Structure 1
């Protein structure tokens, strides 16, 4: 049962709230992690008895002068943006050791600090990832539960939606940052531009990274955005960012950029699925590129709805199997799946054989070893060729394949006679 939350003006319950309720019923400290703007502070504040905001300079100075202040106040004590004072992690850990009662501390963080805490906090502070709003959290009522698909019971699949391709394009461009929802188009573009610029101007220096050529980093980010939903090498991304430039940034320069952006939770790549079973040979281990929200990728590439729907080629040249819109739509599905899978204690991966003969867009792996395989198609109709890789995987996994799903832009969810579920993206939920 969900615990009552403290009223907060404008707050709408998130999917991660259920996970937090369960964890805080037995754990003393939880750290809510994710990029800036996803709603971590609001979600934590509806539970907090007191709050210490370490991104406020005055409060940070008081804490630095008297660290014990962090442990005072009504519980749960929220330590917001704890990375601004990394020692807070160890203070909380020791407090939990001294008094491990439930729901004592909530920490939020928009970056991993450059100076790591002296102790990991394992078994004391449990991390919980928070991402931008899924489609279900944006007000699209889901009809098909990912958690039920993971059971292997092959539940009935039904439901209809009037969400069409244009609506998905609008959602890609609008993004899932709660504070930006509903903004006029120009204001939204300005906010996303400012978000990205702050990463370059402020977040990188705070991570101890001095940028001699900020424009080169922005070009690299644009190339990464163009590589959305691909497994392009980082060398290919670098080359796409600097076409015609003889003196390209060295690998020793660009890899730290990737590491910092990962610590800021801005990059959210999908890892490869590498099962221990010997039923597979030569699976590729390369991650599939995704930004935290496809709206960031779309803004970096300066695309509009008209350009996406027209299939216009924009941005750095990165080899991909389809259109940019298809890649961004897959990015939107990736965001949804990760929110829903986390609620089901499952993980999202992708599968690709070494030579690329077979690819599965997403593998949702449950804690019991069972998987749900999902292919994503930017189409309202289903063709037999769309199912080739799902059928290949079913023949190999047998009963370990709990379900197979084609996610598309259609209007109806149903299960085909061959057992494969067809689910419009807006109808899929936790």
Structure 2
């Protein structure tokens, strides 16, 4: 506990628990949900222990008799607790009474969604700001205000440091390891997905090698809109006995239930003349370190471009794709705290593309380009200027996130920000 690094979601929990009786903290295994949640609990039911599950199955009312706040850890392992808590909320449970954590959507879903009773909150791997590698100087919340305040600050991180942060991971228990131990832990994490998590979700993997190859092909497609058919072709190149489409759909569905896939959906505005936009999502794993591990890439390999894997998937430098995935992870963490969403923009014919769009509830947006470069020129902002011309005041601000040292505003008003200086 003494080494706990406060997360952005901590402030969200503190805010919501003062008014809401039940919150579930969702996210992949190892993201830090239990460590964050247990700090707020007086009673803990750890449902990854068979004895705890048996006690609750025999006496569900234990949940209502327990001293508040009550944490139900890994609730999906005994789904009936969801309905017990939902009914307790209906009967008037006090604010801050229940906190649940879940590393997966349960294979057997509860009888009721809990909508309006149990509020869901996503917990992701650690952002750069949460890792403590630099002091954030540019706030996403401030950018979302539309005030276009001055942008300034200096970062010491260079390209090598960002490559190292990609492979170190945002999983707290993994990133503190070094070298071989970290690589072994990531490999074990991925192996558990194939060997244990899929069967626990009712999907027996008859060809584990094919699932592993599909995961590697998906990793190589990070930050692209590559079709699932192309991912399958890359995973089974030279294999005449390809798995059925239903099999690969099951891969996608189970990995989504495990919170390991988090594609970036397309932005489709409803109140302007941008009517030629593509709707395909960009592919994204929960942590870019998982993608690097699937492709056998450490930091030197990313920097040298010496990556094994399905190169036909990639339309650029893999390090650039993973750097965009890292920035996307950061923006998702900060945007959730600001009650905003993260999307991407691409026209159907591909002539205009904006890497990331952060949208407020009133549909006004921030636009982000992500550049694996230490300097920014006019060519790097052309799509941002095009978007500004298209939507006018609906564009709150435009930002280029890069690997250079200085945060500043260009003469055209576009902000240029080192990734390490972005914060909530």
Q: Same fold (TM over 0.5)?
A: yes
Task: Give the drift of 1:378.
Answer: 0.2
For 2:346, which of 318, 340, 352 is the aligned residue? 352
Give runs of aligned pairs for residues 4-43 of structure 1, distance below 5 A: 8-43=1-36
For each residue in 1:245-292, what CA deviation from the matched residue of structure 2 results, as whole angstroms up to 9, or x when unmatched?
Answer: 112111111001100000000111111101112411221111100100
Does 1:98 pair with 2:70?
Answer: no
Task: Give the drift of 1:74.
Answer: 1.4
Task: Give the drift of 1:18.
Answer: 0.8
Does 1:373 pair with 2:367?
Answer: yes
For 1:115, which of 108, 111, 124 is the aligned residue? 108
Who is 1:55 aligned against? 48
For 2:242, which of 235, 243, 248 is the aligned residue? 248
Conserved in 1, the CA contact under 8 Å of 2:216 and 2:291?
Answer: yes
Task: Give the drift of 1:100.
Answer: 3.3
Who is 2:188 aligned against? 194
Give runs of aligned pairs for residues 171-210 of structure 1, distance below 5 A: 171-210=165-204
TM-score norm. by structure 2 comes to 0.98
- Between 56-65 and 362-371, report the one with greater CA deviation: 56-65
Conserved in 1, the CA contact under 8 Å of 2:269 and 2:363?
Answer: no
TM-score norm. by structure 1 comes to 0.97
For 2:60, which of 45, 67, 72 is the aligned residue? 67
Conserved in 1, the CA contact under 8 Å of 2:272 and 2:391?
Answer: no
Conserved in 1, the CA contact under 8 Å of 2:402 and 2:416?
Answer: yes
**Pairwise CA RMSD:** 1.0
Task: Give the drift of 1:415.
Answer: 0.5
Does 1:85 pair with 2:78?
Answer: yes
Conserved in 1, the CA contact under 8 Å of 2:234 and 2:313?
Answer: no
Task: Give the drift of 1:313.
Answer: 4.3
Cα–Cα, structure 1 residues 423 and 142, in superposed 2: closer, same or farther, change >3 Å? same
For each residue in 1:75-98, what CA deviation from the matched residue of structure 2 results, as whole angstroms up to 9, or x when unmatched?
Answer: 110000000011110000001111
For 2:301, which of 304, 307, 310 is the aligned residue? 307
Gaps of 5+ in 2: none
4+ runs deviating over 6 angstroms: none
SS in 2 for 1:201: helix
Cα–Cα, structure 1 residues 382 and 289, in superposed 2: closer, same or farther, change >3 Å? same
Conserved in 2, the CA contact under 8 Å of 1:413 and 1:421?
Answer: yes
Conserved in 2, the CA contact under 8 Å of 1:227 and 1:318?
Answer: no
Conserved in 2, the CA contact under 8 Å of 1:232 and 1:318?
Answer: no
* 1: CA distance, partners of 2:406 / 2:377: 15
Give runs of aligned pairs for residues 325-340 of structure 1, distance below 5 A: 325-340=319-334
Who is 1:410 aligned against? 404
For each residue in 1:207-247, what CA deviation from the matched residue of structure 2 results, as whole angstroms up to 9, or x when unmatched?
Answer: 11011111110110000000001000000000000111112
* 1: CA distance, partners of 2:27 / 2:357: 22
For each residue in 1:106-140, what CA deviation from the matched residue of structure 2 results, as whole angstroms up to 9, or x when unmatched?
Answer: 00000001211111111110000000000000002
Residue correspondences, number: 423
